[in-house]
Amino acid sequence: MRVTVGLGIALMVLGCGGGGDTQEADAGMAEEAAMPARVTITQPADGAVVDAGPVLFVMETEGLEIVEAGNMNPGTGHHHLVVDGDIDWALPIPNDPGVHYHMGLAQTEFTIEDLTPGEHRVISVVADGVHIPVDPPVADTITITVR
């Protein structure tokens, strides 16, 4: 019986990619699935004015695990920062420093050294092991001004 239930949960996870299923076989798991994952840029604050020079970005996540790039386990991903750029939600995030940055070693903080003076839109987005944004999207956007 235990084996049957365990296998059922394993198949369910594989089948749905780790999200969305609210079967009540396991109350704890149903609760977890009901909470949407999210990411927040906790530093700098949205609207902050920062001095030119290195700027430290700090990300906090809920509802998913931050792991190294290459890990395709359901419910995991790694951080990215997109500076004044766009995101194609269906494609791998490009690797072009200056616009798209990958935190492929599971970092939750990242310093951008060379932000130009002026206003910048910075998007934090969590993507899977092959750098495709997780679905549903887990992202946060701030605007900062470098002086």
Quick one: 50 or 106, whose CB is closer to Cu ion?
Answer: 106
- Sequence-distant (≥ 6) Cβ neighbours of residue 58 within 8 angstroms: 41, 42, 43, 108, 109
Residues contributing to the site for Cu ion (CB under 5 A): 102, 131
Q: Which residue has the tokens 């070693």?
A: 105
In the complex, minimum distance from the CB of residue 135 to Cu ion, in angstroms, rounded to a whole number: 15
In the complex, minimum distance from the CB of residue 87 to Cu ion, in angstroms, rounded to a whole number: 12
Quick one: 74 or 129, whose CB is closer to Cu ion?
Answer: 129
In the complex, minimum distance from the CB of residue 106 to Cu ion, in angstroms, rounded to a whole number: 11
Half-sphere exposure of 30 (CA within 13 A, CB side): 6
Quick one: 13 or 69, whose CB is closer to Cu ion?
Answer: 69
Quick one: 61 or 102, whose CB is closer to Cu ion?
Answer: 102
In the complex, minimum distance from the CB of residue 103 to Cu ion, in angstroms, rounded to a whole number: 7
Quick one: 100 or 142, whose CB is closer to Cu ion?
Answer: 100
In the complex, minimum distance from the CB of residue 95 to Cu ion, in angstroms, rounded to a whole number: 8
User: Is 6 in contact with 91 (CB distance < 8 Å)?
Assistant: no
